[in-house]
Amino acid sequence: MSVAPAFARAREEGRAALVGYLPAGFPSVAGGIEALRVLVDAGCDVIEVGLPYSDPVMDGPTVQAAAQQALDGGVRTSDVLRTVEAVAATGTPTVVMTYWNPVERYGVERFAADLASAGGAGLITPDLTPDSGSGWVEAADRHDLDKIFLVAPSSTDERLAMTTSACRGFVYATAVMGVTGARATTSDLAPPLVARTREVTDLPIGVGLGVSTGAQAAEIAAYADGVIVGSALVRVLLDHPDDPPAGVRRLAQLTTELAEGVRRGGALRGDLARA
């Protein structure tokens, strides 16, 4: 299963796709599966399952706290794959987001085979570039997995072309320089990055920008093919440690708000195209 049909369906509906992230094993393996299914039910088109890692250099404090909680709970790569299998069974394309070291330790070919067997659509690799990831590219191709690499405002035109040519599924545009995390405002670096990326690829472009509200989702959906939300969703669960049901209810509310936002943004994009 690729993420491509989800982006195509969103495009046919005149909107951006909503991509939701939570780490596996948070707040527990079973609780994480429940939370991810809530994201699906509330309107996410694609799910990112984070593989908790002990040295998350690109993650902000919110995602770090959730990943550490999962690690303290004993989450293993096998639990991540079990989570993928449970979420993919809903019919929603499900990808894993992970640093490269855990995949290398697990075994690249073994990881690709097990991810495909679990119904996973592919892998987002924030600290692996195509020119240093030939082993992953070959394994992904053998198992028909999406290869989702990152581009950034600092990417040269040459690297944009090289990176996007190696992608399959979508291109992940990280439009904030620095670690992940929800932000009060969106970045003026994102639209130019998306425009530059469109010049070198026909793949959908998803933007990760610290989105935390429906209004921000709408703003990004006006120019991007996908709106990626992680820290804001994680924060909801972190804020309800003693009342998980309340956290799940708030998670559903926020995801619904974000899903409505990508639809408003799609309408705005149509208005701009007709102007």
Active site residues: 48, 59
Distance of alpha carbon 32 from the chain centroid: 15
Instruction: Please state, in angstroms and rounded to a whole number, the distance separating the CA atoms of residues 219 and 89.
Output: 31
Phi, psi for 175 (deg, rounded to 5)? -95, 10
Instruction: Please state, in angstroms and rounded to a whole number, the distance separating the CA atoms of residues 109 and 122.
Output: 13
Single out the residue of 116, 86, 98, 66 nearest to residue 241, CA to CA: 66
Phi, psi for 142 (deg, rounded to 5)? -65, -30
Instruction: Please state, in angstroms and rounded to a whole number, the distance separating the CA atoms of residues 204 and 209.
Output: 16
**Tokens at residue 65, please?**
């706290």
- Structural Rg of the chain based on CA atoms: 17
DSSP secondary structure letters along 17-82: EEEEEEETTSS-HHHHHHHHHHHHHHT-SEEEEE---S--TT--HHHHHHHHHHHHTT--HHHHHH
Single out the residue of 154, 151, 185, 153 nearest to residue 165, CA to CA: 151
CB 235 within 8 A of CB 26: no
Q: What is the DSSP pairing of strand 17-23 with strand 226-229?
A: parallel
